[in-house]
Amino acid sequence: MAPRTVNTNMKPLRTTIKRALNKGFIRQDPFFDYRPEKITVKRRWLSMDEIERLMRVQMKRATANFVRDMFLFSTFTGIAYADLKNLRYENIQRQAGGSLWIVLNRQKTGTSSSIPLLDIPVRILEKYKNTAFAGENEKVFKLRTLENTDIQLKKIAQAADIDKRLTFHMRRHRIYPFSLKTSKLQNYFCE
């Protein structure tokens, strides 16, 4: 088993052992000298070329294209899956200069965020408005579970010839920050 799997499986066992110790069922902690193996997480990110390939790939199923677009929307805005799932039209505000911004409180941290909507996210918003993928009760999008989304992303990565395990969380990691407003990526987005 991989070290991460071992550590994940050991947690409930160690909790049970501690309870048994506290209740007097056992006298000695068999894990007294046990130290879990430290896991160094290797960050995976998408290169500019891989993002371009994602933008160009067309899937056979509309659901897969929707998942790809949600991944791209999140990549270009930095919004986490939970925040994207709960995004409402009231969170999209037009500023004095006419630009659109997402203004929301992040679900994980509760902190306020103001995010400019660049061309690609705006086009994605327009693409799915009044479709089967539009959300209900003022929500912008109708997203499936994160698990289902990540399964779809695996298939999308294969179709785009990306040799990485693509997950929704991964979209936050990039090899370098890039200015999306001036990037050539704006030209690649397929409607």
pLDDT tens profile 123-158: 999 999 999 999 888 999 999 999 999 999 999 999
Position 154, amino acid: K
Which of 158, 153, 139 minimizes the C-alpha distance to 67? 153
Q: pTM (2 decimals)?
A: 0.70
Domain 51-187: CATH class, spelled out: mainly alpha
Cα 152 to Cα 24, 79, 183, distances in angstroms: 49, 19, 27
Q: Which residues pair with 88 in a beta bridge?
A: 139
Tell me, what's the pLDDT at 133?
A: 94
Say how far apart CA 8 and CA 39 lie, in whole Å.
12
Contact 121, 77 (CB under 8 A): yes
Identify the segments of the chain with pLDDT beneath 70. Answer: 41-44, 170-191
Q: Which residues pair with 103 in a beta bridge?
A: 114
Residue 111: CA count within 13 A, CB half-sphere: 6
In the chain, where are the structural domains located? 1-41, 51-187
Say how far apart CA 191 and CA 174 lie, in whole Å.
24
Six-digit token string for 159: 């179709």
Residue 141: CA count within 13 A, CB half-sphere: 25
Token pair 């995976």: residue: 44
Cβ-based neighbour number of residue 44 at 10 Å: 13
Tell me, what's the pLDDT at 186?
A: 44
